[in-house]
Each structure stands twice: as structure tokens, then as C-alpha cells.
Amino acid sequence: MNETQSAANTGDPSPNNIGALWPDPLTQFTSYLVSNGFDPNKDYFGDLRTDEKWDEGGKEYPYLNGLKRIAFSNRGGVQSVRSDIVKVPSVNVDAKGMTPDCIAAVTVTYSFKDGTSFAGSADASYKAHKAPFSLHLVAIAESKAEARAIRRAFNISQVAKEEIGSSHEEEDRSNEKISDTQLEGIKNLARRKQLGQKDVLKLIKRDDLANISELTHAEAVATLKAVNSYKPKPKQVEVPATKEV
């Protein structure tokens, strides 16, 4: 039996034997985390590939797809992902075809096989996102929340590309001509709502136009919302009067 073993067995409290008698709790906890697929001292952002990061002026931001790869490869893997819609955006359209109070809020929770769970919450507003992104606010909020949950799980401080938003990337297309995709979408939606072209133009108060194709890109976005929200008035069925016998 060597001196270290002898000291440990006899309970020798000498400075050289403190670690053997009372292991450092932080060291034990760190060892447990690493053995379960997570190292608190590791730079997980550094594990992202070049195509999983977006560079803007020398500053890098992680993409959600890269964060998801990190999540599914560590902490024993992902057990489940849950999305809770906290606020559903309204579909009211004002005179300008905009919904300034239109906001979606979502919370995403990542549960890992090592028993840990991390949640992230985010919102997306109509004002902050231009078309066509403004039509998918719930999806945008969910992507932001998902990125935040994963960043918390792996101590990644760099904000994800999806969290920054898309408004600064998109060019202003408000005065552009209606696109073929928008035109086809309005026609198909109007057909399902049993609306003619004149009905659609009257609905958006642009009956001064002769054709839907004269709308601008921004007007087309508002038209899609207006037609989608349109509810036809129920037809009144006339009951024939009964003759008295």
C-alpha cells in the first residue's frame, strides 16, 4: 500500500490528502456534465461550420440550422421540442393595408436526454418585417425562440441570424408592381371566396382600377389579407307563404 492509499484509508486530513477525502463539488459537477455530453468550458460557437455562420462586417452570427446540429449532437441528444404560441397575430387590415399592432409571440422548449430543459421566447411584429415575411409572423417568432433556447443550452452569447430579423436585408418593394405569384394567389383565393375581380377591387377600395394587375406589391399584400379575411354574408332564404285552407 502506498502513502496516498494509506492516508486515504486512515482519514489523514493533511493538505496533500484533502482532495482524496473531500473531492471538489465543482470538479465533480463539471465531470458529470462532460460525461453527459456537455462541457461548460467549451466554446460551442467555435464548433459551427463556415456555412452555419453569417458574416456581416467581420462579425459572425450563428444560423439556426447550425445551432440545431449542435443541439442534436450534444447533451445526449434532443428528447423533445415543444412550441407554445403565446400570442396569435391579428388579421385586421387598416386603410393603408397594414396591421401595426399585429404581433406573434412564441415560446420554444428544448428537452435533452441528459434531463435538462431550456426555453426561449420571442416575438415578431408586422412593422419589423417586410413582405413576404410579414405574412408568416408565427414562423418567424418560433425560429427566433428556438435559436434562443439552444443558445441558452450551450452558453452561446452570439445572437442568431434569425433573431436579428429580416427587415434590414430586404429591399423596399412597396412600390413595385404586383408579382405573378401574388396575382395568381389573389385570383385563386378570390375564386374560393366566390369573388369576382370587381368585387376584390371594391373590397380594398380600389374600384378606380380596371384590373387587379394594376396593384402595387404592397397593395397586393394587403389584398391577400383582405380577401383571406372576407366572410360572405349568409344568404337569406325566403320561405314561401303558406296558403290558408
DSSP string, 91-147: ----TTS--TT-EEEEEEEEEETTS-EEEEEEEEETTT--TTGGG-HHHHHHHHHHH
| Cα–Cα nearest to 131, from 60, 181, 194 | 181
pTM for the structure as a whole: 0.54
For 30, the enclosing helix (H) or strand (E) is helix 25-35
Q: What is the pLDDT along the chain (245 residues), one digit of tens a residue?
A: 444 444 444 444 444 544 445 556 655 555 555 555 788 889 999 999 999 998 888 889 999 999 999 999 999 999 999 999 888 776 555 444 445 567 889 999 999 999 999 999 999 887 776 666 666 788 888 999 999 999 999 999 999 999 886 534 334 455 678 877 678 878 888 888 889 999 999 989 888 888 999 998 778 878 888 888 888 776 665 656 666 65
Indicate the residue type of 156.
Answer: I
Asked if residues 89 and 100 have their Cβ atoms less than 8 Å apart, the reply is no
Helix count and strand count (H, E) for the chain: 9, 5
Give the pLDDT confidence score for residue 245 in this predicted structure. 54
Distance CA 219, CA 200 (A): 12
Distance CA 91, CA 105 (A): 15
CA distances from 142 to 117, 154, 205, 222 (A): 17, 19, 34, 23
Give the pLDDT confidence score for residue 119 in this predicted structure. 96
Give the pLDDT confidence score for residue 161 in this predicted structure. 92
Q: Return the domain boundaries, the chain.
A: 44-164, 180-229
Cα Rg of the chain, angstroms? 29
- Cβ neighbours for 187, distance < 8 A, ≥ 6 positions apart: 212
| Cα–Cα nearest to 154, from 219, 94, 110, 101 | 110
- Cβ neighbours for 69, distance < 8 A, ≥ 6 positions apart: 52
Which three three-digit cell numbers place residue 184?
A: 395568381
